[in-house]
Every structure is written in structure tokens, then in C-alpha cells.
Amino acid sequence: MAKKKKEKSTFRIYAEYLPFCLLYGVIHILPLKTGYALSTFLFRLLYLIDRRHRVRTVQHLMHAGMFTDKAEASRFARKTYLEFAKLLVEVVKMKQLYSKAKIFVTGSQETIDYVTPAPGKESGEQVIIITAHYGNWEVAGTAFSEQANRPMTSFMRSFGNPLIGRMILAHRAGKLHELVDKTEGIRPILRAAGAGRNITMLIDQHAASGEGVDCEFFGHPARIHMTPALLHLKTGIPIMPELTRRRPGSNFEFDLVLGDLIRYEPTGNKQHDVQAVSQLCATALEKLIREEPVQWLWAPRHWLDINRREADKYKNWQPPRTTR
């Protein structure tokens, strides 16, 4: 059974919320580029002060084989912090600057045609979207829903700070985009799928033992959420890997980067099939992240064999066989 996360005290909740609220108010009244500059300055300071996450980011970049030289990994880690600084500003400025015209769908023509309305059709085809904490994932729900012209339901994890979460979620949800807390179980997702809605899930962060399966991710074991696999096997709805990539030097412009559709024919062995589909999901997201890795959030403990108490157990880990 997954270990219950310790709740924050009221004092700590407000100690985090009040500075965030002040920063939110300041960024809200600033032009986008000025907001970027302010947030970049603050995150440069954070990179120097927050040793734990700075060290962990460098370790993870090297662990994933992105760098062999620590100095190069450190320079790249600093760049990833500055990408996250942009995300903070974009969340605050969402309602001021978001426009459907600033969203661009990229990928193979087959995948673009599948999820966007074809001539004479009102909406794109239904998909289960798997995505990651990459670029601007907060804009993804609204952006994808509008491009596909199909309503979406997102399966999400509660914020550690409910007051900050409430502010952020006010920008994430919209007319075409509803949110479901994962603590409500899979039934709301099944109902949404049955109603023809797209379903989306962030699956790149560590899943609890009862929620995920061990898969290979950047060459190392990671516990990947198995809900997309379970839903795909039950409904037959294809899985669409997607990242929302910030355009360089842009004015709140983003690419919805689509991977190839994942379709899997069940073998009748549920455990094997869940493992196989989950591995396909992990591999597909890794492929998209590798195209421009600076926009991925590298600090979280994605892997089982580093920065975890049980890391030694996975020293000689081998990926499960998923061939039929």
C-alpha cells in the first residue's frame, strides 16, 4: 500500500502561499518580458541556494546519460531552472496572453490529422494523452482541447499546498477542460472516456507501488503510472504521447509536439499487457524529451536506482520482457 504523504501544517501552507501570492501579483502587472527577467533573476538565486535540487538535477542528467562531464551537466542544469522560471510567469499571465493562434500542432501528418478536425468533421478523434512535466504543461489541457475541438478530462495529483494549487488550477481548467483528482479513482475517467472526452495524464513522475509498473526510462528503472495502459486495454482508445514545447524567443507561443499513436492488441495476459503498454508509453515520452531535454523538469526523483533508499535493490535490474 502506498505510504500516505504527511500533510503540511497550516503555518507552513501560509508561509509558502503569502510570498507566492505577492510574487503572483507583481508578475501579473508586469509585461511578459519583464516578468521573465524578474523570474529568471529569482531562479538564478534559487539555483545557488537550493543545493539539494541543484545537486540532484546534475546527478540525474548524468545518470540518464545526457552528459559525462559534471561541469557541462551543471551548466545545462542551470538552463533547466531558467525554463522553469518562464513557466511561473506563463501561469500567471495565462488569461492575459493565451490565444489559440499561438498554439502550433507538430508531429507526423498522420497524428496531426488524427487529433485535429478533418474537413467536414467537428472534432479530432478521441485519444488518451500521456504527457510530462515539460515546457508549459499547464497550458496543454486548454490548448489541446481547442485544437482538437473535443472536451478533455485530466487525471491529476493534488498540490502539496492547497492554496497555491487553487490559484494554479484556476488557469488550468476551462470550458473544454475539466480536472479529476486521482484520489477519486478511475471511475470518473471511465465515465469521461465513455462520454467521448479526451483523457490526459502526466506520467513522468514516480508512481506509488500500487499505481505503477517498473519500466526502462532513459536506460534505468522507473515506476511508470499504469492507468493509461489499463484504460487503453479496457477501451481500445489509442494513446497519444504529447509535450507542450515553448517556442524559443516567443511571445507566449507553444508547439503541441505529438508522438506516434500507441495501439496495442491484448494477449489475454493482463499483467504482461499492462507492462508492455506502460513500457511503450515510457519509451515514447523519452523519445520526445530527448529532442529538446532542457525543457523537462529533471530535479524530481524519476528513477528507482538513484536517490532512493531502495536504489541498491535495482543495481542489477533488467527490463521485463514484453515480447509476445
Query: Residues 205-247: pLDDT tens digits?
Result: 999 888 999 999 999 999 999 999 999 999 999 999 999 999 9
Residue 2 has pLDDT above 80, yes or no: no
State the pLDDT confidence band at 166, using cuts at 50, 70 and 90: confident
In angstroms, rounded to a whole number, what is the distance separating the alpha carbons of residues 165 and 159? 5
Tell me how far apart the alpha carbons of residues 317 and 245 are, in angstroms, rounded to a whole number. Answer: 32
Packed helices 10-29 and 32-49: angle between N→C axes, nearest 10 degrees: 140
Q: How far apart are CA 153 and CA 173, in angstroms?
A: 9
pLDDT value, residue 323: 59
Output the pLDDT for position 3: 47
| CA distances (Å), origin 99, targets 93, 251, 287 | 12, 11, 28
- Work out the percent of the chain whose per-residue pLDDT is above 70: 96
Contact, 233 vs 273, CB < 8 A? yes
Predicted confidence band at 107 (pLDDT cuts at 50, 70, 90)? very high
Position 87 confidence tier, pLDDT thresholds 50, 70, 90: very high
As a whole-number percent, the residues of the chain with pLDDT over 90 amount to 76
pLDDT bin (cut points 50, 70, 90) of residue 5 is low
Give, in degrees to the nearest 5, the angle at Cα 203 between 175 and 299.
110
Q: Which grid cell is 101?
A: 493562434
In this structure, of 49-53, 57-61, 104-108, 155-159, the range with the lowest mean pLDDT score is 155-159
Q: Note the Cα 85 to chain centre separation in Å.
A: 16
Tell me, letter by letter, the H, E, C secondary structure of 128-196: EEEECCECCCCCHHHHHHHHHCCCEEEEECCCCCHHHHHHHHHHHCECCEEEEEHHHCCHHHHHHHHCC
Q: pLDDT at position 324, please?
A: 55
What's the rounded Cα separation, in Å, for the pair 283 and 202?
14
Task: With beta carbons less than 8 A apart as the criterion, state whether 221 and 197 touch.
Answer: no
Instruction: List pLDDT tens digits, range 115-163.
Output: 999 888 999 999 999 999 999 998 999 999 999 999 999 987 777 778 8
How would residue 7 be classed by pLDDT, with cut points 50, 70 and 90?
A: confident
Residue 34 bridge partners (DSSP): none
> Model-level pTM greater than 0.85?
yes
Top pLDDT among 224 and 8 is at 224
CB atoms inside a 10 Å sphere around CB 320: 16
Instruction: Give the three-class secondary structure for 198.
Output: strand
Average pLDDT over residues 259-264: 97
Judge whether 289 and 296 are in contact, CB under 8 Å.
Answer: yes
Residues 6+ apart with CB under 8 A from 162: 13
pLDDT band at 171 (very low <50, low <70, confident <90, very high): low
Report whether pLDDT(8) > 80.
no
**DSSP classification of residue 34:** H
Q: CB neighbours (10 Å) of residue 129? A: 23
Sequence-ordered alpha helix ranges (H) in 217-293:
227-235, 270-291
pLDDT, mean of residues 55-75: 97
Type of residue at 265: E
Q: Taking all residues of the chain, what is their mean pLDDT, rounded to a whole number?
A: 92
**In which residue are the cell numbers 489499463 written?**
230
pLDDT tens digit sequence for 262-273: 999 999 999 999
| Residue 78 pLDDT | 97
Closest-CA residue to 164 (of 20, 324, 317): 20
Measure the CA–CA gap between 114 and 108, rounded to whole angstroms. Answer: 10
The pLDDT value recorded for residue 1 is 39
What's the confidence (pLDDT) of residue 44? 96
